[in-house]
Amino acid sequence: MAAFLGTRPTAIRTVWPEGLVEVSVDGASGWLPESEGDALRGAPRADTGTVRLLPPGDPFLQARDRSLLLPEKDRQKELWRAIGGPGAVLAGSEIVGTWRARASGRRVEVTVTAFDALSAAVRRALETEAQTVAEVRGAKEALLLIE
């Protein structure tokens, strides 16, 4: 918590609430109200059919503990660049690739660089997301390129 808030552990100890229990998810420790433990253990995995193109500045991508979002160090380097970083392709609760958009006349080219092979359902959902990006940018059509 101290790292998340950008302070020292001694400052947190004085305001740490009672009734929290330590939990571990995928080897990472955290704290949770004891009453929420069952909800965490019984939480369903996100539907991978829900696909979103998150822009580089999206708050979801600004987490301090990036290894929870994307455990592989080489993929972290691809996504979180100091200058000109791409957006993230989110399928369910997993980051499955990066994306960039480029205007080309009356259309927008959306290039997705997948970390692994994408299912047909994810590819179809990406078509819809690419069209949304094009519309927001004032273009008539989208061209989706998957690398």
What are the pLDDT digits (tens) for 96-137? 999 999 998 899 999 999 999 999 999 999 999 999 999 999
Residue 44 CA to its chain's centroid (Å): 17
CA dihedral 24, 29, 35, 36 (to 10 degrees): -70
Give the residues of the chain that fall short of pLDDT 70: 46-49
Contact indicator for 101, 137 with CB cutoff of 8 Å: yes
> What 8-state DSSP symbol labels residue 71?
-
> What 8-state DSSP symbol labels residue 1?
-
The owner of tokens 């692994």 is: 116
Query: In 19-140, which ranges are E strands?
Result: 20-25, 28-33, 51-54, 87-91, 94-104, 107-114
Q: Whose CA is closest to 93, among 56, 52, 124? A: 52
Residue 103 CA to its chain's centroid (Å): 24
Amino acid 80: pLDDT: 95
Bridge partners for 144 per DSSP: 110
Contact indicator for 30, 2 with CB cutoff of 8 Å: no
Amino acid 68: pLDDT: 82
